[in-house]
Amino acid sequence: MVRGERNMQFLKGNNLPRVKSSNQSAILRMIYYYGPIQRAEIAERLELTLPTITTNINKMLEEGLVRQVNAAHISGAANGRRAALLEINAGSEFFVGVELVGEQWSVCVADFCGQILSSRCGEVRDKSYEAVMRQFADSYAECLAESRKRPEDICGVGIGLPGLIDRENGTLWKNSTFQWSNKKVRQDFAALTGYRGRITVENNATARGISAQIFHWKELARGRSFAYMLVASGIACPVFLNNSGYRGSVVGTGEAGHMVIDPHGRSCNCGNRGCLEAYASERSIINECINEMHQERAVTLSRLCVDSERPTMEEILRAQQEGDRDVGRVIEEAIYILAIAMSNIINFTRPDTMLVDCKLFTSMNNRNLLLNKSKSALCNPTFYGADIRFAEAGNFANALGGVAVAIDEKLENVE
């Protein structure tokens, strides 16, 4: 069972418009996840009558949201007849995704199935909220022009930002990395772009988790739940259910980065001391590598750096690969602490799958190090076995998290 599959108890009630809307949403999700699929199978999975399924699907066919395709031959069909199958019409709706992960921003236009039509990305130079929002707005206009779409062609915009988000009101409460607080993101994006459609604002790690559920659900469908650990300038680990109609993370944004691992340790941007992200985030790794270079160590990294005061994670990983022992020590210490934190999250939340999204683990050696370090903390009588996987480069790039959030809103609010 996936997010779109619900029991009848969620669909019953005396409020007929609400029931109709819930049915439409459940049917559209079923087609989105399982298509091509027969009407009879949708009725069986959702425990709805075939006439109810047919009425709702006819409306979706008229609107172009879904389309009918012919199966070459359905096994068991009477007299070997061909059966009509239903699938999402990818070109029926278009969405804009916007994301900020670490200091990397991205904006894209994609179709209903997440196929990117145009995109822009870059590194944040001016960390002020106003400058970043202006970059989003400018890139939005460029992507629309390149994809030859008008604002009225866009069904929804999804914005994924780090920090504490009020999704209902479209605001950002707090972002300790950039020192932003109480920002009216939905309102500001609409004002800058002139877009008048649905704008959904979500935490970036949660957005990427939703992206995993929507675009990679077959890889996660066997488990009841999964955790998505995003390691960038901060660290977050939302947890999702696969067998429930509940939308989003069941633990909010999962601010794992502010778990205190040493109450007398390093200062964190949040104001506390000894937070996980002060030891294992990209920002902390970069800062430690800068300290190494200031002490005339990390010689290989110093040679590779374009700017010794601003090394990139790519340069750091290359220095590690070329045998820089000082850089290697910094990375190993960060992975060791991250492995302990990851193991604690697994032991506490018990997800069937842990999906780790971090540039460090583009290196197979670093992946193996994380897995080996976590074994000792996980090999105990309470551990029932979580499948630890790594987000492959490109799977969640180019603002697909933002696109997924916008698509998720569409699937939930079928008009």
At which of 91, 116, 145 does a domain end?
91
Does residue 353 share a domain with residue 240?
yes
Does residue 375 share a domain with residue 283?
yes
Domain presence at residue 336:
yes
pLDDT score, position 176: 85
Domain that holds residue 56: 8-91
Does residue 351 share a domain with residue 263?
yes
Domain presence at residue 42:
yes
Q: Has residue 92 got a pLDDT over 90?
A: yes
- Domain count across the chain: 3
Does residue 206 share a domain with residue 155?
yes
Output the pTM of the full model.
Answer: 0.89
Q: Has residue 99 got a pLDDT over 50?
A: yes
Taking only the tens place, the pLDDT of each residue in 299-351 is 999 999 988 888 999 999 999 999 999 999 999 999 999 999 999 899 888 89
CA-based nearest residue to 289, from 266, 308, 264: 308
pLDDT score, position 394: 67
At which of 32, 57, 91 does a domain end?
91
Domain presence at residue 1:
no
**Can you give the CATH number for the domain in which 29 is found?**
1.10.10.10
Give the whole-angstrom CA distance, residue 31 versus residue 24. 11
242 close to 223: Cβ distance less than 8 angstroms = yes
15-24, 102-111, 155-164: least confident range: 15-24
Domain presence at residue 215:
no
pLDDT score, position 390: 94
pLDDT score, position 72: 59
Taking only the tens place, the pLDDT of each residue in 59-69 is 999 999 999 99
Please name the helix (run of DSSP H) or strand (run of DSSP E) that holds residue 286, with its range, or none: helix 282-294
CA-based nearest residue to 163, from 82, 52, 275, 255: 255
Q: Tokens in use for 28?
A: 């559209």
